[in-house]
Structure 1
Amino acid sequence: MDIAFVLYPDMTALDLIGPYDVLGHAPDVTPHFVAATLDPVRCDAGLLITPTTTFESMDRADVIVVPGGKPYDVLADGTVTTWLRKVHPTATWTTSVCTGSTLLAAAGVLEGKRATTHWAMRDLLASLGAEVSTDRVVRDGQVITGAGVSAGIDMALTLAGILWGDTLAQGLQLAIEYDPEPPYDSGSVEKASPEVVNLIRGLLVNDFSADRN
C-alpha cells in the first residue's frame, strides 16, 4: 500500500508525524514523502523533513495524507492543489489534518462534502465550498478530515480501523501509547476560556491571515 504524505513549506510537523507514526508502521505500507522538489522542507517551527519523491514523479497513491500549516501561501502557489486534482482520483482514501482540508477544498475534493479543520480556519474552509463540521474527525465517502494538529492521530487511527480492522488499529494505538490525559481541559475552542481563545487567536493572526504581510 502506497501512502503519500504531502510536504510543503511552513506545514505543521505533528500534522504529518502523528498520522505517519500510526499508518507508517502498519504491515505492507510503503510511505512516500512527496514535495515540489527533493530539497528539505522547512516546517513552521523549523524542523526540516527530506522528501523521498516529487509531485512530478508520483502520479498515484492508495492513500493521501495532507497536513496543515500556514495556508495562504500554499493556496496561492497552487502546486499542492494541482497535484491533488491529479492524484485524488487514483486514491482509495484521501485524508487531511488541520488546515490541510483547505487544500483539499481548493482542489475540488470536498465539493458537496462535510469536512473539519482547525477551529480558526472554519470560515476559510466554508468559503472554499465545504460543509464545515466541528467534529474532531469527519468521514464523508472516501475522504477523511481531522481537526487541528493532534486530531491527525485520531484521523489516522480511524483510517487504520477501516483498512485493517479494530484489533490492529487498537494495537497501533497501544504501540504509540496514545492515551492522553492532558493537564488542562482547554483543547478545543468550545472548552477553552474566552481569555485563552483570544490569546491564541492573537498569536495565530500572522499565520492564519491573508493580510498578515
Structure 2
Amino acid sequence: MQKLKVGMLLFPELTILDFTGPYNVFVKAPCFEVLTVGITSGPIRAEGGLILQPAIEMADCPQLDILFVPGGHGINTLLQEPVVLQFLQQQAEKAKYITSVSTGALVLAAAGLLQGYKATTHWRSLELLRMFGVETLEERVVKDRNRITGGGVTAGIDFGLVLTALIGGEEMAKIIQLQLEYNPAPPFREGSPHTAGLPVLQKTKELTQLGLDARKKIIQQLLQDQTSASVRPS
C-alpha cells in the first residue's frame, strides 16, 4: 500500500490533544507516513509546557499529500505569520487533502484555503470562522471535497478515523478505533453547548471571552489589511 505523507504542523502554544488525537490514529494506520513540521526544527512549548520537537522545518519539507493544522492559543501568532501562511498556500497547491482540527481551521481560512468550502471548528470559534466568509457546520467532522475539518479538541480522534477510513478503508479505521478503545462515555453531558447546563455554559463563555475578543481583533485587522492590499493600485 502506498503511504500518503501527512504533514502535521507544530507551533508554540498548540493544544496537545488537537495534535495527539489524530497523531495516535495516523501512526497506527499503514496508509500514512507522518511528518511533524515546524517553522524551525527546534523544540517548541505546547500549552501547559509540554516540549515537542518537529522532525523537519518548513523550508526542507517535501510535498505533502495531506496538510494538517491543529489549534490552540498559539494560532494568534500563526494568523499573522506570513511564513506559515505561505507554506500552507504552497503545499495546498498539490496536496490531496487540506485538513485541520479545532481552531486550526482559522489558520487555513487566513491562508485563503477554505474559501467556497464548508468547514467546522471549536464551537466557541464558529463565529470567527464565519468572519472569513466560510460556511460553518456545527459537526464533529465536516468533509467538503478535499477539505476535512474537525471540531474542538476531542473531535481530532473522530477526524483521524474519518480520514483513515477514506484512505485506508473502513476496516482499517475500525481496527484502529478498537486498538485505541475509543468508546466515548463522558461522565457529564457538558461536552456540547447544546447539552451543557446554563450556569456551566455561561461560566465557560466568561472564561473564554477575553481570548475570543483578542482573536477577533486580530482577524478583523487581517481582513482589513487584505482588503487594503486588494484595492491598492499596482
TM-score (norm 2): 0.86
Cα 1:150–1:46 change in 2 (3 A) is same
Cross-structure match for 1:73? 77
Cross-structure match for 2:41? 38
Counterparts of 1:207 and 1:18, CA distance in 2: 24
Counterparts of 1:45 and 1:37, CA distance in 2: 21
TM-superposed deviation, 1:116: 0.3
Cross-structure match for 1:15? 18
Counterparts of 1:193 and 1:79, CA distance in 2: 42
- Runs of 5+ consecutive residues of structure 2 not aligned to the other structure: 218-234
Counterparts of 1:181 and 1:95, CA distance in 2: 26
Greater Cα shift, 73-82 or 169-178: 73-82
Cross-structure match for 2:55? 52
Cross-structure match for 2:184? 180
Instruction: Output aligned runs, 1:86-105, within 5 Å.
Output: 86-105=90-109
Cross-structure match for 1:203? 207
Contact residue 13 and residue 72 of structure 2 kept, 8 A: yes
2:128 matched to 1:121? no
One-letter code aligned to 2:101? V
Deviation string 1:99-126 (CA, Å, 9 cap, x unpaired) is: 0000111111100110000111111100
2:192 matched to 1:167? no
Number of residue equivalences: 212
Cross-structure match for 2:86? 82
Counterparts of 1:52 and 1:81, CA distance in 2: 19
Find the partner of 2:8 among 5, 10, 21.
5
SS of aligned partner of 2:64? coil
Cross-structure match for 2:67? 64
TM-score (norm 1): 0.94
Displacement over 6 Å in runs of 4+: none
TM-superposed deviation, 1:62: 1.0
SS of aligned partner of 1:81? helix
Deviation string 1:75-131 (CA, Å, 9 cap, x unpaired) is: 122332221101012211111000000011111110011000011111110011211
Q: Which has the larger radius of gyration?
A: 2
Contact residue 11 and residue 69 of structure 1 kept, 8 A: yes
SS of aligned partner of 1:3? strand
Contact residue 31 and residue 167 of structure 2 kept, 8 A: no
Counterparts of 1:34 and 1:201, CA distance in 2: 32
Counterparts of 1:125 and 1:115, CA distance in 2: 8
